[in-house]
Structure 1
Amino acid sequence: MRLGRTGCVVIGSLGLLLIAACLTGVFAITTLGMQGRVSAQQTLTPRIVYGLTFMPSGFDPHVNQNSELGIVFRSVYDTLLYRDPNTKQLVPGLADKVDKSADGLEYTFHLRSGVKFHDGEPFDAYAVAATLDRIVNPDTKSTKALTLLGPYSRYEVIDPQQIKIILNAPYAPILDAFSQVYLGIASPKALKENDAATYQFHQVGTGPFKLVNYVPGEKIILQRNPDYVWGPEFYQTPTAESVQEIEFRFFTDPATRALALETGEAQIMGELAPTDAMLFARGSNGVQLLPQVIPGQPLQFFINTSLFPTNDLNVRKALLMLTDRTAIVDSVFQQFSPVACGPLSATTPFYDPKVCDLIKFDPQAGRDLLGQAGYADTNNDGYLDKNDGGQVKNLHIVIVTPGFGMVPEVVQKLQSQWKEYGIEVEIRQVANLAAILAEFDKGDYHMVAFTDYGLDASIINNYYRSDGVMNFTKWKNTDLDAWLDRAVVAEDTERAALYSQIQTHIMENALILPIRDYVNLNGAAASINGLAYDAYGWFPLLANVTVIEQK
């Protein structure tokens, strides 16, 4: 079957796939030699404990969207493509080559042969089809994976080694989507034997590790796949020191994480408290500090433009001017994180540094804007107020915040800073994403703290389109909608210009208060070698980890 005119897909630092072997149409892949089999019930060595810091509602990458599941299951699933952790470019995964049609509506993936799932079933185009069928099935209730597919229409299985993905509209981020763990390819046999609720306990992929045990709220155990010989080129050949078994345990209390590393209860841990990370950075207790910058959106506060008083642009701008972001970041995050300037973090493709000129700490200008908005302390209670339709109302700001990620500490700093200027802050702390979305549906908030991660700037679309499912700002603007829509179909030069325009629009209208670009503070025991993280920053490449005991 032919596509008519086809071309090699090119990916560079701004999101295009560079296929060096364009003339031959073949990617070069280094295969890894692994020999021998072991029982799934046998405890294997070297063995490590990896600390998870959040207990999500589920660990199914086709259903859930938390980063914790990716930390575990990036090693269980292969994806059609990978991103090189150093260059960030797309490289072969389960697909050797991708052909893109001239109109950008069809992508034909040429699949590797000789790949097997952990249950012994062969990997082929029908397996890719089964995974796609599961994701788009409404009964699956997919969140992240379905969103990543964008204007996906359907597939055509050409033969066992070729599958064509057909879109309803051109969509520049589609190849990035197929490199993410949320589109990891699952065994059709395992999917058939389980439903949407039970599959997370019996997940089967083709990756370098296989799932052998999952006890919710307690542990997840992976063991190395001895048959794995089809990894991406950045996976190294295992040695006698390579990790054979990984137990993931939960350390949801930040105060327990550093102690677990120091005592040997865990060998790897993410999201360390910045104060603990500072000690490890000085060489304390033989723990390695491995900070990872996370691309995507920064920690930010989305500002509700539909509710008094933040429906007033002057009030929104004043809130930005009255926030000493540098003081907050230096205090809460111990200078490990850069101060954020806009809706994209500085390491995200198409970030425009000019947005930093649009947000400045300027208390006097902020006070002046509040005065222009009609606010004054008329009753001398220390808080600004305003006569609104015959009713005197304090300048009262309700902030919805999750209870993790150091966000409560940031909100307390905001509350303290703004009190000096007569702004009253009510903190509404919630437990998880579902609770945040419930607050979004109610709409009786002024600000929502949130962050999201990804390597394509289109990650912001759902947050700023008028009909976006995460449009916490309630901002509706037809020009912004048009720019966002165009940016996902355009080529890189135009995308850069569009995303610059989008970022400027967001900051000129004070739709968010950006705080810090996200940096995950990871710690590892001195015996851990070869630990690196994927291009998205969150997910460890555990196939490369070795354990070499210190003498």
Structure 2
Amino acid sequence: MSRSRLRFAAASAATLAVAGLLGACGGTGPAADSSTGKAKAAGQPVYGGTLTYLEHQPPTCLYLPAAGFYPNGGILNQITDKLTWQNPETLKIEPWIATKWEIDKDATEYTFHLRDGVTFSDGTPLDAEAVAANFDVYGLGDEKLKLPVAEFVNNYERSEVVDPLTVRFHFTKPSPGFLQGTSVIGAGLVSKKTIALPYEEQCRLRNIVGSGPFTVKNQVVDKEVDLAVRKDYDWAPPSSGHQGRAYLDEIKIIVTPEDNVRVGALVSGQADFVRYVQAYDEATVKNAGFTVYAEPTRGVNNGLYLRPGNSILKDRGVRKALQAGTNAKEIVETLFTSGYPVATSVLSRLAQGYTDLSKELAYDPDRAATLLDEAGWTRGPDGVREKDGRKLRLGVFVAGPQPLSKQTLELVGQQWARIGVKLEIRPADAGTQAVDIKDAEKTAVAHSMVGRADQDVIKSHFHSQNRDVILSDDEKLDRLLEEESAEPDVTERNAKVAEIQRYVVDQGYAIPLFEEPQVYGGAPYVHGVAFEAVARPSFYSVWKSERE
């Protein structure tokens, strides 16, 4: 029996085991349009029904600025709104809770005018005071409440409530990324009661009171979240073709870690929509007449990020050798599909400020071997290079959020073995991961990516005070990132982003692999699925037609 048939058989058996949790569903629905992969239209939208959505992982902390993890976004996008909406097609910033805004010429002062009549689900007004309270926390943090500063806010000074529906923000230096920052998942607006809670309390879903089209009905921690429609919701972005309450009555988000169970439940009619369709399952979904949505994340590419604080990787020559000894094209062609373009720079080609560095990132194992020879690492009897009695071994953790991370790292390990480097892969659930991943000596390499449709995404990933993926002590890199985040001229800002990408690649800090999409599967009777600019789903306009 073929591997694909074995997977499908396993999926069928496993799906039966969770049938009670998923609830009764049946049928396969109308056929999909094979020319586009999108479900055919089935008349006018209808109200009612429940969307069963299978998520690969449970949500983590839901404090908004720390909640960029995609399983969090699938919840928060339904229960919170933002000041602005970033159009995923044009990437332009459009009105939402803010009807209009003014920005001074230096990008140090932003004034937002708010919609009247918007309320949080607890009945309190979403007014200027509430917005100011949110962004004072997002911009400054709160040491007493242990609330960290949001990575999408730079140079924040203070808020000013001008009148009940007008709020102004002041910055110590230019903050050109702030407008786009008001549209991201971490800028979701919550009630004044929620934003005043300490970090641990804001992490808990039951305490998140937003103004979105759905509210939390029930949660079984790490297993299921049930959302119910908010019937009085009437403040979608003006550009939305749908206004008023959401079409659906409920959304059931069920954590289903097994890839074959998610796909099996989808194609058997027990689930309506799933996240994290692996590349090897895309054909199964399409061949069943269902839709595969491969949505771009427009940020820092999926890649390996090398930590110069490691005693081996402090040598730039070794880092450059690993860069030259990695064949990203082989990884994509072996493990993935056309929805995962080979990376040609640190940033995705769809990212703002992208510059093509494909020549600098060309696979060249001979050059890699030469660089390691020059660095004093010679082949030992087992094929692993040695220097001063030490083996050239480097540790990395499997990255749970990244698609096929284990398989990707195993293939990289094979490539590196050819040049005499041992990659030691540790499982994502290792008990010491939370501590060891912050130790460059134990975790020399990070497998990571980050999505955001703004130039500041590169600062989020690399700056020592943000995600700091390389555990940086590079003062020049920090300075370049700070200059980028404070440059109000778009052309100059993009030029700075290009300079940063060249610097990161030249220093051997990054081995970009591929442009990572978020891949979803949907039933053909599910219509109106939308995604924000970095691929988190919105179910506000979703409706279900009759299944055939």
Query: Secondary structure of the equivalent of 1:457?
Result: coil
Cα 1:495–1:433, aligned 2, differ >3 Å: closer, same or farther? farther
Q: Give CA-to-partner distance per residue, 1:47-72, whole Å, 9 cap, x none.
A: 11111111233234255342221111
Query: Secondary structure of the equivalent of 1:147?
Result: coil
**Which amino acid is 1:546 matched to?**
W
Task: Tell me what 1:420 maps to.
Answer: 418
Deviation at 1:120, TM superposition (A): 2.4
Q: Give CA-to-partner distance per residue, 1:445-489, whole Å, 9 cap, x none.
A: 321111111111222224434x43433434544443332221112
Aligned pair 1:217/2:222, yes or no? yes
- TM-score normalised by structure 2 residue count: 0.85
Task: Tell me what 1:325 maps to.
Answer: 328
Cα 1:162–1:240, aligned 2, differ >3 Å: closer, same or farther? closer
Query: Secondary structure of the equivalent of 1:149?
Result: coil
Superposition map of 1:260-339 within 5 A: 260-281=265-286, 284-339=287-342
Q: Distance in 1 between matches of 2:341 and 2:363?
A: 16
Q: Distance in 2 between matches of 1:468 and 1:194?
A: 21
Superposition map of 1:374-523 within 5 A: 374-377=376-379, 379-386=380-387, 388=388, 392-405=389-402, 406-431=404-429, 435=433, 438-441=436-439, 443-465=441-463, 467-490=464-487, 491-523=489-521
Query: Secondary structure of the equivalent of 1:88?
Result: coil
Query: Secondary structure of the equivalent of 2:211?
Result: coil
Superposition map of 1:104-119 within 5 A: 104-119=107-122
Deviation at 1:108, TM superposition (A): 1.1
Structure 2, gaps ≥5 residues long: 1-46
Cα 1:58–1:481, aligned 2, differ >3 Å: closer, same or farther? closer
Aligned pair 1:172/2:200, yes or no? no
Task: Tell me what 1:236 maps to.
Answer: 241
Superposition map of 1:92-107 within 5 A: 92-107=95-110
8 Å CA contact 2:266–2:523 kept in 1: the answer is yes
Structure 1, gaps ≥5 residues long: 1-43
Q: Distance in 2 between matches of 1:523 and 1:529?
A: 12
Aligned length: 497
Aligned pair 1:146/2:145, yes or no? no
- Percentage of pairs with the same residue: 24
Cα 1:442–1:485, aligned 2, differ >3 Å: closer, same or farther? closer
Cα 1:321–1:134, aligned 2, differ >3 Å: closer, same or farther? closer
Query: What is the Cα-based RMSD across aligned positions, in Å?
Result: 2.5
Query: Secondary structure of the equivalent of 2:231?
Result: coil
Q: Distance in 1 between matches of 2:439 and 2:386?
A: 27
Q: Distance in 2 between matches of 1:256 and 1:234?
A: 37
Cα 1:277–1:137, aligned 2, differ >3 Å: closer, same or farther? same
Deviation at 1:189, TM superposition (A): 4.8
More divergent stretch after superposition (92-101 vs 413-422): 413-422
Cα 1:109–1:433, aligned 2, differ >3 Å: closer, same or farther? farther
Query: Secondary structure of the equivalent of 1:521?
Result: strand
8 Å CA contact 2:230–2:246 kept in 1: the answer is no
Cα 1:189–1:414, aligned 2, differ >3 Å: closer, same or farther? closer
Q: Distance in 1 between matches of 2:516 and 2:542?
A: 24
Query: Secondary structure of the equivalent of 2:262?
Result: helix
Q: Distance in 1 between matches of 2:142 and 2:213?
A: 28
- For 1:67, which of 67, 70, 92 is the aligned residue? 70
Deviation at 1:505, TM superposition (A): 0.9
8 Å CA contact 2:526–2:542 kept in 1: the answer is yes
Task: Tell me what 2:187 maps to.
Answer: 183
Cα 1:422–1:178, aligned 2, differ >3 Å: closer, same or farther? same
Cα 1:181–1:399, aligned 2, differ >3 Å: closer, same or farther? closer
Q: Distance in 2 between matches of 1:317 and 1:63?
A: 32
Query: Secondary structure of the equivalent of 2:288?
Result: helix
Cα 1:236–1:212, aligned 2, differ >3 Å: closer, same or farther? farther
Q: Distance in 2 between matches of 1:101 and 1:221?
A: 43
- TM-score normalised by structure 1 residue count: 0.84
Aligned pair 1:369/2:374, yes or no? no
Superposition map of 1:333-348 within 5 A: 333-348=336-351
Cα 1:131–1:433, aligned 2, differ >3 Å: closer, same or farther? farther
> Which structure exhibits the higher relative contact order, with contacts defined as CA atoms closer than 8 Å and separated by 6 or more residues?
2
More divergent stretch after superposition (225-234 vs 193-202): 193-202
Q: Distance in 2 between matches of 1:212 and 1:363?
A: 55
Task: Tell me what 1:549 maps to.
Answer: 546
8 Å CA contact 1:63–1:142 kept in 2: the answer is no
Deviation at 1:321, TM superposition (A): 1.6
- For 1:529, which of 521, 527, 530 is the aligned residue? 527
Deviation at 1:395, TM superposition (A): 2.0
